[in-house]
A and B are shown apart, each in its own frame.
Chain A
């Protein structure tokens, strides 16, 4: 049993190690293992595939090395069986959501989440590749992100509750995780708020633009285009008159000057 638990710890530790590293190339074995773990993922449509890939990503969010260590400690302390390394992710997710397991075996919830974290650390680049491909195929898939995040938050709250029930409330890693859930909830709610404001903006800005455009047209139509031309003509007439008068004065000056000498 001890050996098994040590293996479980060993299984979790790479999660922490991998968590902060850049995407890596998977070996053939790892690749095969990832494929096995995703074996239960639906393949009937891009939408459902996208949901599961993204959900597995979201579930592993904010799992720090400290939290991984804490989960490992609880599994050892509660002698919890680890899940087989190639256990399908779909089953893991269903286990977390299972209300009976949630109530009766919080340590099992911890083990399930640890498995998800492990999966994400190991197969992260693979999953990201799948997500990118699906988005390239259909960018609209991103619109479901908010729902996926809400579902993931629900499952992550189950983990937080499980940790709490196992006595981790004073642990800093657990507290940080709980805070991250609060921020995630705020973020999700803000996106909802943002959507509503966005709709208001579109409505009001569009309406204002249309009304102002019409108002501009009405004002422009009401312009007396002849008033200015009349003014210019009047100025020209006055100037012509002034020029004639200047010419007369010129002749008068000439006569006067010549007459004065002569």
Chain B
């Protein structure tokens, strides 16, 4: 009796153990992304000449000395909650897999966008993850694609939670037939100021993306203050996220929090690829990610491009590029003007940008070709297929684990019920037991019992014994043999459940452990391809630029007004004006950088007279808790008249008098804008 109770106790503990190991998840995902893949959205926007519409950025390589920092950061800021990783080797393998898959699946997005947007207007920008000079983790473009102005840039990462043990759970995963995209769609921080230029992002990285763009905007403005037109390239948002955006100062960390409400959010979702398409992977050029994700995501991107102000989104980078050829013209292009001498010269300069854009688009096309086609693409597809097989095996083991767990629980409950039920109740006969496993155990027990009965000499007692064996005996405190059998079955099932779970973990671990060298080799090959491509491209690119510069200087027109650097009379101290100057101060179109009375960095794009803003202007204030913009008429350096004010999450028309906000302006009021050709005044 005591032995049986102990056994029962052990059984229930094992069953509880089985329950805690899981109802094991079978690592499933959604069949299609949250982006509704409706009919294709058409492009309604025209980008200025020499400007890309979209640049796809992705992590392509981790430098050796950044590997451990990356793995630590990746484990420490896991998307999906918790701190992730338990085994550094496995985390490293998952990090390598993340890079490899991002390389591969980013091509799906490139292909979709390139097929739907005008020729040469989509570029690829692989990033190298490295340590910055201050020792923090960052990323830099491996090619010159991002030197071309673009209306939007799209960050794409195929993400996996950094803990192998959670692979079969609900955590984000990119493995086999599962892909978890982590994305950002951003424009330049000089437009969509209220959201720091972030148009859409995966929910967990919105703050990092906004923080990254904000930090970059501050850097750009500071550079302009020193007299140079330069638009920097922000690091990948996934890097900003896992490294905690170290480039944000403590005062500006609130940008991360505030930006959340101003940006279109994309939930983290595990997309499950169609198994039929997966089975045919590599047999044709079908893109397995297109139907469930890329098509819908491309629609989102195009719709965001359609609603983005392309002039503001590209003005600084275009001016930066034009400065390579013609510094006298560069700052004037920020606002532009209608004079024939300017228009003629600008037309030539734009054509140079277009030549650069076309040239670099060839590199993107060949990167795509190199990664997707040939042996390299074939190997990645083999890896995906192999992962799929592993995942399927683990799913099978999980299902077996679940069945064993369920059986263990049922058996334990059954055993417990029999053990504690009333003394005078009759036990069920074997035939009355519905569960086939329990019934089998009961029949075996009955057989054993009958054989035992045969040894009784007294015939009456022998008959009673056999009858009891067949009909189920009245329970007595010492007679819980069936309960014992059930307890044994429960114990074995629970043990089986744990065994399956362990085997599943081992299968996943073995695969990753074995595949690490192959993943590394594959990543290195992709890096070779990108590096080699960049070397070839860069040599010829420099040569092309020299030729373009010669051609430009041969055809150059004179300008009545040229851009120079002079003083902008800020409210507190002198700032910098890049543009038209007279007598050493701002006079005409250009951009002024100065600090306001609160000490915030201010960019003023528009017109100036006698050193201060005068006429239509677009002013961006980089406040510590987020940027805001004022667009309208200015006089004496301050807003004066109706202006449109954009802050985080709101756009409003306000009335200003000598820089003072006098309240809401009537709806439908027309504002002055420096970017409106022809009539710029409101």
Binding site for B on A (CB under 8 A): 179, 182-183, 186, 189-190, 193-194, 196-197, 200-201, 204-205, 207-209, 211-213, 215-225, 227-228, 230-232, 234-235, 238-239, 242-243, 246, 249-250, 253-254, 257-258, 260-261
Question: Are the CB atoms of B514 and A234 closer together than 8 Å?
Answer: yes
For chain B, the bracket of interface size reads 35 or more
Q: Please indicate the chain B residues that have their CB under 8 angstroms from the CB of A194 in the complex.
A: 351
Tell me the nearest residue of chain B to A225, going by C-beta. B375
Question: Are the CB atoms of B484 and A261 closer together than 8 Å?
Answer: yes
A179-B340, A182-B340, A205-B362 known; A261 and B7 CB under 8 Å? yes
Binding site for A on B (CB under 8 A): 3-4, 7, 10, 340, 344, 347-348, 351-352, 355, 358-359, 362-363, 365-366, 369-370, 374-376, 379, 382-383, 386, 390, 393, 484, 487-488, 491-492, 495-496, 499-500, 502-503, 506-507, 510-511, 513-515, 517-518, 521-522, 525, 528-529, 532-533, 536-537, 540, 543-544, 547-548, 551, 555, 557
Q: Please indicate the chain B residues that have their CB under 8 angstroms from the CB of A258 in the complex.
A: 488
Can you list 13 pairs linking A and B with CB atoms under 8 Å apart? A183-B340, A190-B347, A201-B355, A205-B358, A213-B366, A216-B370, A219-B376, A231-B518, A232-B386, A239-B510, A253-B492, A258-B488, A261-B4
Question: Are the CB atoms of B355 and A228 closer together than 8 Å?
Answer: no
Question: Are the CB atoms of A209 and B536 closer together than 8 Å?
Answer: no
Least CB distance from B553 to A in Å reads 11
Can you name 12 extra interface pairs (CB under 8 A) apart from A189-B555, A200-B548, A261-B484? A186-B557, A197-B548, A212-B366, A223-B376, A223-B525, A227-B518, A228-B521, A234-B514, A238-B506, A239-B511, A253-B495, A257-B488
Q: Please indicate the chain B residues that have their CB under 8 angstroms from the CB of A242 in the complex.
A: 503, 506-507, 510
A217 to B347 alpha-carbon distance, docked (Å):
39
A260 to B366 alpha-carbon distance, docked (Å):
68
Least CB distance from B397 to A in Å reads 9
A239 to B513 alpha-carbon distance, docked (Å):
11
Question: Are the CB atoms of B376 and A231 closer together than 8 Å?
Answer: no
Q: Please indicate the chain A residues that have their CB under 8 angstroms from the CB of B548 in the complex.
A: 197, 200
Question: Are the CB atoms of A208 and B3 closer together than 8 Å?
Answer: no
Q: Please indicate the chain A residues that have their CB under 8 angstroms from the CB of B533 in the complex.
A: 212, 215-216
Question: Are the CB atoms of B355 and A200 closer together than 8 Å?
Answer: yes
Question: Are the CB atoms of B351 and A193 closer together than 8 Å?
Answer: yes
A201-B358, A212-B362, A235-B510 known; A227 and B521 CB under 8 Å? yes
Least CB distance from B278 to A in Å reads 17
A213 to B529 alpha-carbon distance, docked (Å):
11
Q: Please indicate the chain A residues that have their CB under 8 angstroms from the CB of B543 in the complex.
A: 204
Q: Please indicate the chain A residues that have their CB under 8 angstroms from the CB of B375 in the complex.
A: 220-221, 223, 225
A221 to B529 alpha-carbon distance, docked (Å):
12
In the A-B complex, the 3 residue pairs with the smallest Cβ-Cβ separation, listed nearest first, are A212-B366, A235-B514, A238-B510
Q: Please indicate the chain B residues that have their CB under 8 angstroms from the CB of A228 in the complex.
A: 379, 382-383, 386, 515, 518, 521-522
Question: Are the CB atoms of B555 and A193 closer together than 8 Å?
Answer: yes
A253 to B10 alpha-carbon distance, docked (Å):
13
A47 to B463 alpha-carbon distance, docked (Å):
123
Question: Are the CB atoms of A243 and B382 closer together than 8 Å?
Answer: no
A221 to B358 alpha-carbon distance, docked (Å):
28
| Complex partner residue of A197 from B355, B510, B540, B557, CB under 8 angstroms | B355
A24 to B359 alpha-carbon distance, docked (Å):
47
Q: Please indicate the chain B residues that have their CB under 8 angstroms from the CB of A257 in the complex.
A: 488, 491-492, 495
A228 to B507 alpha-carbon distance, docked (Å):
17
A196 to B515 alpha-carbon distance, docked (Å):
52
Which of B347, B362, B536 is packed against the most chain A CB atoms within 10 Å? B362
